Structure formats: structure tokens, C-alpha cells
Amino acid sequence: MADYTLVVGTRNWSSWSLRPFLALHATGASFETVVIRLRQADHPTTREQILRYSPAGKVPVLKIHDGDVVVWDSLAICETLAERHPEAGLWPDDWKLRARARALSAEMHSGYPDVREQLTMEFARRLPLPELHEATSRQIARILEAWEDALARSGGPFLFGRFTIADAMFGPVVSRFVTYGVEVGPAVGAYMDRVMALPAMRAWAKGAQEEVESGLA
């Protein structure tokens, strides 16, 4: 039996689902993935399907089989995985770096509303960059500044050296920048290539591509 069940939304669209998928993959634990289709105007049972797993009625949801515990919300799931799998090093070892990684992760969790609105997640597609609102441009500049600073401080290959929850939280943003061809510098471009090459990202991309090709997204 798998250690976990992770309930996610349509992979081409669900950025919040991708985040804990990346973190869970990094733990090496066994898990099964349940995909619930989103944006189904003619299928009003989507919420009911999700409520079978979570009282919040939203994805993602993590079911921990050992103890029969359910955790919802991307960041809460990631924090739970870090606590249960300290060997995975999902937060930096140094407390100062942990503080910075947590701050960046929380900034992503609660911020960048214009980036979310204008550059919606279309993981398996490549789309033209729209004319950006001023607020969107500012938020993109802030993201790039944060990445450049973290990479310069750590030396890479990921934001805080090894892969951490901060990278998982920004994984969907990396995919958005790829989808829309956002212009980035060499250091950030190399970082984005490394994120997109992660086995978990490749697995997610395969699922998203299958959804698009079958008309599910």
C-alpha cells in the first residue's frame, strides 16, 4: 500500500496541485495520485468529488495512510511532508536560510495575484505573452529579483542549494514563464531549465500533455 494519496486537479491548470506533487516526489515516499477534472461546466459534481477527500472542497489534498490523516492547502501539505521526512531536506539546514526560504514560500503562497490572473497555468501549451499590466510587470520583476538573489547567495543549483519547498512553491511560476516566453537572464534561465528537467516536472508534463491531447484541458 502506498504511503500517501495525493488528490490533484487537472494537471494542465492546477498550479496549487503541482506544488505538493513536487515536494512529495522529492521525499521518495510511495504515493498514488487521484486527478479530479476542473472547469467542467456541465459536470456540477466536481466539488462533491473533492469533498469526498477534503472538508475545504478544494484541491490539493494529501491523505496520510499511516494515521488516516487528511491535510489540505499546498503549503500545509509541504510543511507536513518536511516534518515527516526530515531526511529529504525540504527546508535548508541553516536556520537563517530556512527563514528566508519560508518567507519566499509564503510570499508565493499569498502574493502575485496579477501574475496568476494574466499568466494562467497552461502547463502543456506554449502561448504568446499578453500585454502585461503594470502590476503584473512589477510582480514578475520581483520574482526574478528574488530568484536571482537566492541563486547568487546559494550558488545553486536550486534557490537554496538543494531542492527545497521554495522551489516547489515556485515550480508553477517556472512553468508559466516557459509557457508565455517571459524574458529572463542567464542565471534564471538555467535555474528554470533545471526545474523543468526534474523527474517530477517531466511526469507532471506528461500528464498535462495527455489531458490536452484528449480534450480534457
Prediction pTM value: 0.94
- pLDDT tens per residue across span 135-164: 999 999 999 999 999 999 999 999 999 999
Residue 178: exposed, middle, or buried by beta-carbon count in 10 A (0-12, 13-18, 19+)? middle
Helical (H) or strand (E) element with 4: strand 4-9
Domain 95-200: give its CATH code: 1.20.1050.10
What is the Rg, in whole angstroms, of the alpha carbon atoms belonging to the chain? 17
**Domain 4-88 part of CATH 3.40.30.10:** yes
- pLDDT tens per residue across span 77-130: 999 999 999 999 999 999 999 999 999 999 999 999 999 999 999 999 999 999
C-alpha span between 145 and 158 (Å, rounded): 15
Q: What is the mean pLDDT of the chain?
A: 94
Q: Does 43 score more than 60 pLDDT?
A: no
The set of cell numbers assigned to 6 is 495525493
C-alpha span between 25 and 187 (Å, rounded): 25
Domain positions in the chain: 4-88, 95-200
> Percentage of the chain surpassing pLDDT 90?
85
The set of cell numbers assigned to 210 is 495527455
Q: Are strands 4-9 and 31-36 parallel, antiparallel or unpaired?
A: parallel
In this prediction, residue 2 carries a pLDDT of 85
